[in-house]
């Protein structure tokens, strides 16, 4: 089978959409499928796939992570299957058009990552064509894959899902199931809470400002604890200023982007991970699973999809979205109870082994594509 993975972003750009596309492409290639990735060339760093080709296409029009790629009209010739990672404004229209007029006759699959929530009028206008034809495009799809049916039932897809349930299939995201190896040499010699996530405007929903405000309350009781933030983007300077305004300069460290080895070491050394997302822009929380791989407890917000990963009172604690006081209280509970953190961490690792891992994800994906 010749498969085209179409995604608006791709590693090393941070965020779940690109990582999912990369992990799926690698896994499907190992199954013997012929896979190529098509993604916009936004001028950033480019990488090469191990067993598959990555095509960086120059956008005719671009805004944020949206891109108009008319090259797909002829570049998709010869492919049997398309997997579109949604949202991808500017390109969904191209795929809809070539399928509608019969120019391309293969199978379309959609991986619906999250709802799009426009943050300004221009984004609302720019995304209008895609949003207008989305339902028509989804009807063309053989299957619509989602990270969580819980999220789907609370998303903008709810009514479409209720009308076309047979089209939907849940494929949870995951992490690599590696043996847990703790290095003798620590990366840092401090007690810290960890956040990992994008800090660009596309990831405003991560709630970094809420986390910083909550942490400022926490340090009043735990003066030795620190907060480490991994991630980068055009909002980072604003978050750094907020940390300074809150008097947290000595308590908060912004790492920016780190390599895989450094990130793994931070996961293994942290007290626990926090994902303070504020709305449905967060549909799952892959960093939760990554931390759970290292036997770490997690704190997240009570959002559909996210609560599928963070089970309140089992492997972590849930706080109300955007509630600074509640988030601080949940972090305080974990920080004060090492035994509870250990119990949650063990339960989380077991969940990764049983469900939230890439092997299980790709196995299910391969089964769906060959149905």
pLDDT digits (tens, 9 = 90+) for 201-253: 989 999 999 999 999 999 988 889 999 999 999 999 999 999 999 999 999 99
- Interval 34-65: pLDDT, tens: 999 999 999 888 888 788 999 999 999 888 88
Cβ pair 344, 298 in contact under 8 A:
yes
When divided into structural domains, the chain yields a total of 2
- Domain-embedded: residue 265: yes
Phi–psi pair at 15, nearest 5 degrees: 120, 155
Based on the fold, state whether residues 126 and 201 are members of the same structural domain. Answer: no
Of all residues in the chain, the percent with pLDDT exceeding 70 is 97
Average model confidence (pLDDT) for the chain? 92
- Domain-embedded: residue 187: no
Based on the fold, state whether residues 280 and 155 are members of the same structural domain. Answer: no
Structure confidence at residue 12 (pLDDT): 87
Based on the fold, state whether residues 15 and 57 are members of the same structural domain. Answer: yes
Structure confidence at residue 16 (pLDDT): 86
- Domain-embedded: residue 311: yes
Task: Lowest mean pLDDT of 44-58, 70-84, 178-192, name the range.
Answer: 178-192
Which structural domain range is residue 134 located in?
2-174+357-369
**How does residue 181 score in pLDDT terms, banded at 50, 70 and 90?**
low
- Domain-embedded: residue 186: no
Based on the fold, state whether residues 284 and 317 are members of the same structural domain. Answer: yes
Based on the fold, state whether residues 348 and 363 are members of the same structural domain. Answer: no
Based on the fold, state whether residues 121 and 7 are members of the same structural domain. Answer: yes
Which two three-digit tokens encode residue 302?
């009570």
Tell me what the mean pLDDT of segment 137-156 comes to: 95
- Interval 78-112: pLDDT, tens: 999 999 999 999 999 999 999 999 999 999 999 99
Please check the confidence at residue 75 and state whether its pLDDT lies above 80: yes
Based on the fold, state whether residues 361 and 336 are members of the same structural domain. Answer: no
Based on the fold, state whether residues 251 and 321 are members of the same structural domain. Answer: yes
Cβ pair 2, 78 in contact under 8 A:
yes
- Domain-embedded: residue 184: no
d(CA 274, CA 288): 8
Per-position DSSP letters for 152-185, written without gaps between them: HHTSTTHHHHHH-GGGEEE----B--------SS
Structure confidence at residue 159 (pLDDT): 95
Cβ pair 278, 205 in contact under 8 A:
yes
Based on the fold, state whether residues 113 and 51 are members of the same structural domain. Answer: yes
Q: What is the CATH number of the domain that holds 108?
A: 3.40.50.2000
Structure confidence at residue 180 (pLDDT): 63
Task: Lowest mean pLDDT of 73-77, 122-126, 313-317, 360-364, name the range.
Answer: 122-126
Structure confidence at residue 177 (pLDDT): 80
Based on the fold, state whether residues 214 and 350 are members of the same structural domain. Answer: yes
Based on the fold, state whether residues 129 and 165 are members of the same structural domain. Answer: yes
Structure confidence at residue 302 (pLDDT): 97
Please check the confidence at residue 184 and state whether its pLDDT lies above 60: no
Of all residues in the chain, the percent with pLDDT exceeding 90 is 80
Q: How many other C-beta atoms can be found within 10 angstroms of the C-beta atom of residue 223?
A: 8
Phi–psi pair at 279, nearest 5 degrees: -155, -170
- Domain-embedded: residue 302: yes
Please check the confidence at residue 4 and state whether its pLDDT lies above 70: yes
Structure confidence at residue 182 (pLDDT): 55
- Domain-embedded: residue 6: yes
- Domain-embedded: residue 127: yes
CA distances from 313 to 64, 182, 341 (A): 38, 26, 11
Based on the fold, state whether residues 349 and 363 are members of the same structural domain. Answer: no
| Closest by Cα among 170, 232, 172, 171 to 196 | 232
- Interval 254-274: pLDDT, tens: 999 999 889 999 999 999 999
For 268-280, b/e burial (b = at least 16 CB within 10 A) is bbbbbbbbbbbeb
């Amino acid at each position: 089978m010749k498969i085209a993975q179409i995604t608006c972003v791709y590693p090393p750009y941070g965020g779940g959409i690109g990582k999912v596309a990369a992990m799926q492409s690698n896994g499907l290639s190992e199954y013997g499928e012929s896979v190529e990735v098509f993604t916009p060339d936004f001028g950033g760093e480019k990488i090469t796939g191990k067993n598959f080709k990555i095509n960086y296409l120059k956008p005719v029009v671009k805004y944020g992570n949206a891109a108009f790629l008319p090259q797909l009209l002829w570049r998709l010739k010869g492919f049997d299957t398309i997997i579109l990672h949604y949202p991808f404004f500017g390109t969904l229209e191209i795929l809809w058009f070539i399928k509608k007029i019969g120019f391309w006759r293969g199978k379309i699959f959609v991986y619906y990552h999250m709802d799009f929530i426009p943050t300004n009028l221009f984004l609302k206008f720019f995304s209008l064509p895609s949003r207008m034809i989305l339902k028509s495009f989804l009807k063309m799809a053989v299957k619509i894959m989602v990270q969580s049916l819980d999220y789907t039932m609370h998303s903008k897809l709810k009514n479409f899902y209720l009308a076309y349930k047979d089209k939907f299939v849940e494929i949870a995201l995951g992490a690599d199931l590696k043996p847990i190896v703790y290095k003798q040499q620590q990366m840092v010699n401090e007690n810290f809470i960890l956040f990992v996530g994008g800090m660009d405007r596309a990831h405003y929903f991560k709630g970094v400002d809420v986390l910083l405000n909550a942490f400022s309350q926490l340090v009043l009781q735990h003066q030795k604890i620190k907060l480490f933030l991994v991630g980068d983007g055009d909002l980072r300077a604003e978050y750094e200023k907020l940390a300074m305004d809150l008097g947290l300069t000595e308590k908060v460290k912004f790492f920016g982007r780190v390599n895989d080895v450094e990130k793994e070491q931070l996961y293994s050394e942290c007290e626990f991970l926090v994902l303070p997302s504020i709305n449905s822009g967060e549909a799952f929380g892959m960093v939760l699973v990554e931390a759970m791989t290292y036997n770490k407890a997690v704190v997240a917000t009570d959002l559909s999809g996210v609560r599928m990963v963070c089970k309140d009172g089992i492997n972590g604690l849930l706080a109300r979205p955007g509630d600074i006081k509640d988030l601080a209280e949940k972090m305080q509970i974990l920080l004060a109870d090492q035994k509870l953190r250990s119990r949650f961490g063990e339960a989380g690792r077991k969940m990764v082994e049983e469900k939230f891992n890439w092997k299980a994800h790709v196995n299910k994906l391969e089964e769906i594509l060959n149905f």
